[in-house]
Amino acid sequence: MVVEALRETFERGYTRGIGVEGVKGLLLRAYEDAHRRIVEMSPGPGKMGTTLTTAFVRNRMAVVANTGDSRAYLVQEGKIVAKTRDHSVVQELIERGIISEEEAREHPMRHVVTKALGVDLGVDTYVWELKAGDVLLLSTDGLHDYIDEGIIGKLVFGSDPRTAAEALIGEALKVTEDNVTVVVFREV
């Protein structure tokens, strides 16, 4: 349902010369449409929902949108230089200085999201400039809740996207208790 909403929104609204703000608007519209569809299909309030992170890349610019605790990372030379903000209870605790990033990994509420499509819509957008060799990584919490960011950066550095994705999933499957999805894009 969500992928269909994204596809339909971009088929209707995308034109070749659209700028960054236009792409942001399309992403927001698609998220709103997906949210509405999920709410309409749900058997009850809060019974059906999903997190979502998307990226639109053109002319060395990445427009990223996210809701929930799936993430996007910008990796340069093996180091994470930017990432999306999780919409979660533990992220709010980190930001208030109540727990550390390390404590968040083991916190009993680490999987409780505060925003999600179909539950409570909240979308953040980011615009990142890409340089040759930069990696854009999209992942579910089955990866980043279990694998240290330093290791994530090292696994994607210098590898082609397929090899990087396979390495990330392989590492995560050794320790994760969750599903794992990754998308890896390398700017040429």
CA 26 to chain centroid: 17
Task: Please give the pLDDT value at position 111.
Answer: 85
Measured distance CA(114)–CA(181) in Å, rounded: 20
- The CATH code of the domain that includes 144 is 3.60.40.10
What angle (nearest 5°) sits at the alpha carbon of residue 134, between those of residues 161 and 2? 60
Measured distance CA(48)–CA(38) in Å, rounded: 7
Measured distance CA(96)–CA(76) in Å, rounded: 28
Task: Please give the pLDDT value at position 110.
Answer: 87
- 10-residue averages of pLDDT along the chain (188 residues): 96 93 97 96 88 96 97 96 96 95 89 94 97 96 92 92 96 92 96
Measured distance CA(175)–CA(140) in Å, rounded: 14
Q: How many domains does the chain divide into?
A: 1
Task: Please give the pLDDT value at position 117.
Answer: 97
What are the CA-CA distances from residue 171 to residues 83, 153, 154 (Å)? 20, 13, 12
Q: Residue 170 is part of which domain span? A: 2-186
Task: Please give the pLDDT value at position 36.
Answer: 96
Q: Is the C-alpha dihedral spanning 129, 162, 182, 108 positive or negative?
A: negative
